[in-house]
């Protein structure tokens, strides 16, 4: 099973709507079985929201495209962002779960609303896990903030997909965001970019397709194709 993971478009004055067709085309060309988009669709203004919703509606995968909101989606009017996604029929997950089928496997997919405080993340992850189908070969959680992984791992979530960090954007010493790296992301996040493992649980943190500011050093924008393999 393959998952196309993209995050943090931050559509606004820096990443303009003109970038969206290329982002969508690039994601679709990867041919993932499922597309996961982990938040921060608009940067600061919902003036760009119609273009974002139109672009997200063009993402195509056999198991669908699934979305969660990030912190920037609440800077103007988060309720409006939620309504726009729902009205367009997009699969926006707001602390809820769904059952998907891939070949002979049952997949439980859940997604949480934006949160950053540890207690809030734990509460939302617990609520969403209860809402997810309990009988599944794999449970996947979408969460904008990667620190949700702590609660997800404790509850047996196999894979958590996150963004939010932009990979740090500025990395002076590069160990893929992990111990030994020196960069902006390491100052604020336990999980900065790439793949993390704890027990049987995995976290992937996307460096995102957008930017806070127009500079990236040793941390390019990315759309990632993840390949999941069943244990034999």
Residue 232 belongs to a domain: no
* Sequential DSSP letters for the chain: -EEEEE----BTTTB-GGGHHHHHHHHHHT--SEEEEES--BSS-GGGHHHHHHHHTT---TT-EEEE--GGGGSS-HHHHHHHHHHTT-EE-SSEEEEEEETTEEEEEEE-----SHHHHHHHHHHHHHHS-SS-SEEEEE-SSTTHHHHHHHTT-SEEEE-SSGGGSBEEE-STTSTT-EEGGGGT-S--SEEEEETTEEEEE---S--SSS--BS-----EEEE-----
CA distance 71 to 73: 5
Residue 63 belongs to a domain: yes
- Please give the pLDDT value at position 231: 72
Q: How many domains does the chain have?
A: 1
Residue 34 belongs to a domain: yes
Q: Which domain holds residue 184?
A: 2-227
pLDDT tens, the chain, 232 aa long: 999 999 999 999 999 999 999 999 999 999 999 999 999 999 999 999 999 999 999 999 999 999 999 999 999 999 999 999 999 999 999 999 999 999 999 999 999 999 999 999 999 999 999 999 989 999 999 999 999 999 999 999 999 999 999 998 888 766 665 655 666 667 778 999 999 999 999 999 999 999 988 989 888 999 999 999 977 5
Residue 108 belongs to a domain: yes
Residue 32 belongs to a domain: yes
Q: Both tokens of residue 58?
A: 């063009």
- Please give the pLDDT value at position 93: 98
CATH of the domain at 15: 3.60.21.10
């Amino acid at each position: 099973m393959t998952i196309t993971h993209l995050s943090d478009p931050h559509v606004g004055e820096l990443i303009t709507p003109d970038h969206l067709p290329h982002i969508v085309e690039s994601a679709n060309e990867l041919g993932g079985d499922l597309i996961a988009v982990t938040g921060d669709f608009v940067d600061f203004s919902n003036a760009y929201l119609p273009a974002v919703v139109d672009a997200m509606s063009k993402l195509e995968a056999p198991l669908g495209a699934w979305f969660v909101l990030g912190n920037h989606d609440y800077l103007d009017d988060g309720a409006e962002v939620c309504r726009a996604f729902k009205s367009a029929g997009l699969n926006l997950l707001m602390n809820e779960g769904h059952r998907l089928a891939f070949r002979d496997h049952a997949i439980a997919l859940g997604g949480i609303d934006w949160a950053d405080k540890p207690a809030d993340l734990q509460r939302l992850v617990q609520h969403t896990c209860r809402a997810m189908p309990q009988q599944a070969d794999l449970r996947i959680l979408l969460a904008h903030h990667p620190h949700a992984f702590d609660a997800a791992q404790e509850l047996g979530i196999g894979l958590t997909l996150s963004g939010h960090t932009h990979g740090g954007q500025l990395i002076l010493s590069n160990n893929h965001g992990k111990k030994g790296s020196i960069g902006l992301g390491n100052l604020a996040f336990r999980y900065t970019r790439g793949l993390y493992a704890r027990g049987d649980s995995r976290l992937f943190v996307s460096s995102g397709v957008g930017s806070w500011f127009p500079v990236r050093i040793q941390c390019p924008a990315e759309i990632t194709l993840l390949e999941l393999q069943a244990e034999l």
